[in-house]
């Protein structure tokens, strides 16, 4: 079982609001790995839209992304690209 950790920056002007959160959840529906996002004291399940919104990550927030499972590397790559591309906004 693979475990990967990486810090990703929220580049969206509005932060991690509903649209990017929906994009993340859709992307993660297809993966087998467990994915958690950590911001400050909060750690949430990245497959849950409500949990992502509760993080209330603002623009330039550095989120620690933890991916654990058999497709961890592929999942981390997809998430990194999504953050990099501002979730298509």
H/E segment holding residue 78: helix 72-84
**Active-site annotation holds for 78:** no
Q: At what angle do helices 18-29 and 72-84 cross, to 10 degrees?
A: 160
Active-site pick, 10, 12, 16, 17: 17
Residues 6+ apart with CB under 8 A from 84: 11
Residues assigned a catalytic role: 17
């Amino acid at each position: 079982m693979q475990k990967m950790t990486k810090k990703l920056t929220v580049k969206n002007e509005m932060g991690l609001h509903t649209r990017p959160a929906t994009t993340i959840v859709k992307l993660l529906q297809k993966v087998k790995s467990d994915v958690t996002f950590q911001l400050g004291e909060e750690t949430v399940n990245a497959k849950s839209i409500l949990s992502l919104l509760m993080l209330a990550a603002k623009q330039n927030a550095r989120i620690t992304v933890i991916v654990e499972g058999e497709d961890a590397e592929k999942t981390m790559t997809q998430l990194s690209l999504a953050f990099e591309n501002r979730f298509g906004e």
